[in-house]
Amino acid sequence: MVTPWLGIFLSTIVAGLTIAGMSDYRRYFVAGGTYFFTVVTDRRASLFANAQARCLLGSVFRRCILRQPMSVLAIVLLPDHLHCLWALPPGDSAYSDRWRWLKGEFTRRWLALDGLEQPIGESGRRERRRGVWQRRFWEHTIRDEADLERHADYIHYNPVRHKLACRPRDWPWSSFHRWVALGHYPIEWGRSDPAASLKVAGE
């Protein structure tokens, strides 16, 4: 079942495609403008085990997309981190600006709801940091269609890799079912790790 907040993400995926095979990844790939990201909560806190936090993140993503258009090609949300694939408009490489706004806006609204944060040391307080996100994120520029496929597989298999689900289809907080509907995967895909050799920083 696809949860309502996740539809905010999935609505940004190119609609109406009939995916027959690997060559169709060319329709997603933007040279120099397609990126894979890993973003982690502060101290690996299980922030997104909280339904309110998941819902808020969806709302903030939607506002970010309205402010600075992009396509979220694939995404998975785990309790303490997320992975996603973005395609930015041609000539636009401002993903850092988007993440800065996204993390800051989520933090502001989460704390306004009395959401929990992790303890911050003296240096962090001097820098006016809050204990919601790790300061950095990890980015990989997608090189070609094959690289896009590998990272999409990595995203959708990630809940199984972390022993949070037996199969990708069992994890509701990812774009897997959308990719099934588009014909990328059979519903039973993911009985073995399709991207076991892929090393991802921040994982």
Ordered by where they begin, the domains of the chain are 4-181 (3.30.70.1290)
Asked if residue 16 has pLDDT above 50, the reply is no
Question: What beta strand segments (E) does the chain contain?
Answer: 34-40, 71-77, 81-87, 138-141
What is the C-alpha separation between 64 and 10, in angstroms, rounded?
Answer: 14
Confidence of residue 110 (pLDDT cuts 50, 70, 90): very high
Confidence of residue 33 (pLDDT cuts 50, 70, 90): confident
